């Protein structure tokens, strides 16, 4: 669960005893933990946490979750609660909570849920592509069947551009501007793009990059 050690948590609960109990537990897993029982939205804006764990019996809990989802549809929300009504469960599903755990919480169950959360965080930074390829957004690393494909700086820039376009064609001019940028000069021509594409393709599974004459290049998404 080392991914969690890089993340901040906002924990929202109204019960003093339970806040102390679970707060000490969460501090073992997350880099930083903020806790509140009131004004959760204000805390969210001040701390911008990576994960929010909330007791749904807090009066403004569902309203808070709805506002959060209007702002950020990817924030990881976890419910730990004594409220197990059908209405609450429907809200959890509707608002895309990552987990829904009924109190009192068994430590082993909590750890299992945090492991799942850690895996979701890891997957969030990866783009899965055809032919068993993955692109890690943060490290800008390309994998094929879990092995790293070593790219030159310009090949990596080109691949990043193709990923950003999300299956749309990139023209020669798009590539020239993005890859060469400030290094652009008269010696860099469209033949430079074709050479770069050719060299990159040699390292990739056949068919991952598609081209259309006069239009450009794209990754098959």
- CA dist 220 and 163 (Å) reads 10
Smallest CA-to-CA distance from 42 within 68, 22, 19 is with 68
Binning the chain into helix, strand and coil, the percentages to the nearest 5 are 45, 20, 35
Note the helical H segments in 72-124: 86-94, 107-124
**With a threshold of 0.75, does the pTM exceed it?**
no
Please check whether residue 167 is in contact with residue 218, taking contact to mean a CB–CB distance below 8 angstroms. Answer: yes
pLDDT by residue for the chain (221 residues), tens digit each?
Answer: 667 888 899 999 988 888 888 888 888 889 899 898 888 888 898 888 989 999 999 888 999 999 999 888 878 899 988 888 888 888 898 999 988 998 888 888 888 888 888 877 767 678 889 999 999 887 889 999 889 999 999 999 999 999 988 889 999 999 998 998 766 565 778 888 999 999 999 999 999 999 998 899 999 76
**Alpha carbon 220 to its chain's center:** 21
Cis preceding-peptide flag for 159 (omega within 30 of 0): no
Domains, the chain, in order of start with CATH, read 2-124 (3.40.50.2300), 127-219 (1.10.10.10)
């Amino acid at each position: 669960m080392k991914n969690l050690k890089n993340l901040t948590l906002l924990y929202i609960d109204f019960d003093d005893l339970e806040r102390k109990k679970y707060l000490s537990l969460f501090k073992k897993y997350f880099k930083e933990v903020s806790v509140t029982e009131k004004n959760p939205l204000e805390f969210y804006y001040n701390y911008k946490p990576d994960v929010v764990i909330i007791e749904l019996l807090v009066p403004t809990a569902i309203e808070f979750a709805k506002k959060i989802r209007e702002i950020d549809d990817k924030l990881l929300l976890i419910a730990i609660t004594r409220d197990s009504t059908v209405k609450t469960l429907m809200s959890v599903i509707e608002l895309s909570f990552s987990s829904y755990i009924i109190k009192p919480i068994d430590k082993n169950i909590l750890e299992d849920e945090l492991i799942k959360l850690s895996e979701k965080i890891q997957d969030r930074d990866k783009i899965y592509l055809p032919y068993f390829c993955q692109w890690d957004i943060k490290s800008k690393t390309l994998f094929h069947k879990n092995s790293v494909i070593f790219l030159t700086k310009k090949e990596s820039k080109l691949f990043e551009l193709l990923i950003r376009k999300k299956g749309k064609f990139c023209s020669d001019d798009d590539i020239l501007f993005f890859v060469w940028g400030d290094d652009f000069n008269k010696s860099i021509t469209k033949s430079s793009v074709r050479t770069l594409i050719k060299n990159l393709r040699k390292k990739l599974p056949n068919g991952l990059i598609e081209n259309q004459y006069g239009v450009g290049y794209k990754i098959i998404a």
